[in-house]
Each structure stands twice: as structure tokens, then as C-alpha cells.
């Protein structure tokens, strides 16, 4: 859902491209143009290209809520999204997406402003990837800031991730921590599974610590781990119009890659 901040969807193609570009700039911090639109016979759009290279998505505004019915406004044969070195809350990722034969609808929010929605897409694929070393550095930075509030310094963090199956991801995290003159090594194991019904769940979270500091850290984390493993997230509950998830799978080398295939029912 893309709030346009205006009462209607512009009909000239150049005005539409500018409106989309302005809307996406509210979600992504990036200099220069984000949206390029090609159309020979509007409202049939040949292609929409979205370039998020180097963008920051650290604090995007909340998504708009559509009130009432929606109406079709235009169609496009192809949407491509590229994003290299995109920062998502400080974590660097790469992403790319393609959607074909896309139908856009217009809705309105509580203020009566236009909201653009992807209503249907014949097929599409989203690929999100991140280097394990970048994820390791992010854990060190984000976790280190949290640990320092408790007087603990993270001296070293090592992350090793692997795919257990097409829809199961495991991570081993080794942490060397220090508080005053006491040091400890903490081993954390986490496992994420996505079922055949596309329900995502952290199925395992384990912590083992050496020494008094390590034992205290694992004891402090245990309530959080218990709450986390009790929760699940049905991915099909995400409102996507007539678009349905078709497949999800992970692949791990030096890079962790998540691939999502989707499309509207025929």
C-alpha cells in the first residue's frame, strides 16, 4: 500500500511517476530519483522501475489503512525493484523483485487521501539476501549497545548460519563477553522454520554459558526465549489483495538468501 498524499491518482504518466517517486521517498531515505516509468498508451504502463540502491529504510512511516472499497486505476506489464546495500534498521541487505501483469487499485485512507494498492499480479518473485559477515557485525553493534546498558562489553561475536531444509534456517552465535574483570563465552542456537502452510515460527532457542557471567546471561535471556518460541506468524495473514504466496525457500553460503514466489490465482 502506497499513500500518495493527495486526493486522487494522477492520470498523465509523468505526473504518476512523480507521485510514486515522492511517495517512496517518504519510506526510503535516498538522494536522486527512485521511480522510472515507461508508458506508450496510458493507463497501460509498460514498466515501472524502482531503484533503492543505497537507500535507508531505518524508520519508515506506518502503512496507510484503506477505508471502504477500492477501484482499478491502471495496469503495468512489469515492475522491477532493485536494492543493493539497503539499510533496514541499520542492517545492510540486498533485494530484487519482479512482478508481471500487475493491476493497481485505488483506495482512500481516513483523511480521504488516495492510497495505491497492488491488487493482482500474475506472478512475482522477491529475493532478499544478506552477507553473514554483515549480519555478524550488526549483531555485535546492536547487541553490544544493549549489553552496555547492563555494564557488559561484547568483545567478540561469531555467527554461523546454515539451511537445514528449503524452509528451515539455523544459526549458531558465539559471544565472548566481559563485565569488570569477569569474562564468559555464551553459545546461542536458534532455528526458524516455515511450515507448508507458510506459518513462520522460531522453533528452538537455546543458550549455554560458561562461568557465572555466562549462566547469569542465559538465565536473563530465558523468559525472552520462552515468549519468542511460543509465538508463530502466519504469513498468509499479510493483506496482499488477491496475491497469494506460492513458495518460500532459503539458501545459505557466505550469504543468506530468502526467495519468495507469489502470484494471483488464475
* pLDDT over 80 at 1, yes or no: no
Give dist(CA 160, CA 174) in Å, integer: 9
Considering the entire predicted model, what is its pTM? Answer: 0.87
% pLDDT > 90, the chain: 60
User: Which pLDDT score is estimated for 12?
Assistant: 76
User: Which pLDDT score is estimated for 179?
Assistant: 86
Residues 44-66 have a mean pLDDT of: 87
Q: How many Cβ atoms from other residues are within 10 Å of residue 180's Cβ?
A: 9
Give dist(CA 193, CA 170) in Å, integer: 9
Q: Which of 67-71, 156-160, 162-166 has the lowest mean pLDDT?
A: 67-71
pLDDT tens, position by position, 204-249? 999 999 888 889 889 988 999 999 999 999 988 776 778 889 999 9
User: Which pLDDT score is estimated for 101?
Assistant: 95
* pLDDT over 80 at 265, yes or no: no
Give dist(CA 266, CA 256) in Å, integer: 32
pLDDT tens, position by position, 8-45? 888 777 888 999 999 999 889 999 999 999 988 887 89
Give dist(CA 22, CA 42) in Å, integer: 20
DSSP line for 221-244:
HHHHHHHHHH-EEEGGGS--TTEE
* pLDDT over 80 at 88, yes or no: yes
User: Which pLDDT score is estimated for 239?
Assistant: 67
Q: Enumerate residues 6+ apart whose C-beta is below 8 A from 249.
A: 166, 167, 258, 259
The residue with greater pLDDT, 190 or 112, is 190
For residue 151 the three cell numbers come to 555494564
Share the mean pLDDT of the chain: 90
User: Which pLDDT score is estimated for 266?
Assistant: 63
Q: Do 260 and 240 touch, CB atoms closer than 8 A?
A: no
DSSP state at residue 112: S
Amino acid at each position: 500500500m502506497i499513500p500518495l498524499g493527495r486526493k486522487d491518482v494522477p492520470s498523465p504518466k509523468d505526473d504518476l511517476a512523480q507521485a510514486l517517486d515522492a511517495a517512496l521517498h517518504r519510506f526510503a531515505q535516498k538522494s536522486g530519483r527512485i521511480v522510472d516509468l515507461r508508458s506508450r498508451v496510458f493507463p497501460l504502463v509498460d514498466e515501472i522501475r524502482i531503484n533503492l540502491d543505497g537507500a535507508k529504510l531505518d524508520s519508515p512511516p506506518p502503512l496507510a489503512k484503506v477505508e471502504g472499497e477500492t477501484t482499478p486505476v491502471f495496469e503495468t506489464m512489469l515492475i522491477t525493484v532493485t536494492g543493493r546495500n539497503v539499510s533496514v534498521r541499520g542492517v545492510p541487505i540486498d533485494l530484487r523483485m519482479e512482478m508481471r501483469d500487475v493491476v493497481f487499485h485505488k483506495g482512500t485512507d481516513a483523511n480521504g487521501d488516495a492510497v495505491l494498492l497492488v491488487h493482482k499480479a500474475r506472478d512475482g518473485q522477491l529475493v532478499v539476501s544478506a552477507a553473514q559477515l554483515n549480519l555478524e557485525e550488526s549483531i555485535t553493534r546492536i547487541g553490544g549497545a544493549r549489553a552496555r546498558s547492563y555494564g557488559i562489553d561484547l568483545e567478540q561475536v561469531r555467527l554461523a548460519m546454515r539451511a537445514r531444509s528449503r524452509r528451515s534456517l539455523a544459526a549458531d552465535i558465539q559471544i565472548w563477553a566481559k563485565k569488570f574483570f569477569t569474562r564468559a563465552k555464551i553459545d546461542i542456537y536458534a532455528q526458524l522454520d516455515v511450515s507448508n502452510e507458510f506459518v513462520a515460527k522460531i522453533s528452538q532457542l537455546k543458550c549455554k554459558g560458561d562461568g557465572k557471567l555466562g549462566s547469569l546471561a542465559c538465565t536473563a535471556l530465558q523468559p525472552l526465549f520462552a515468549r519468542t518460541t511460543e509465538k508463530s506468524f502466519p504469513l498468509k495473514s499479510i493483506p496482499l489483495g488477491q496475491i497469494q504466496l506460492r513458495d518460500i525457500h532459503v539458501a545459505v553460503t557466505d550469504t543468506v538468501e530468502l526467495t519468495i514466489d507469489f502470484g494471483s490465482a488464475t
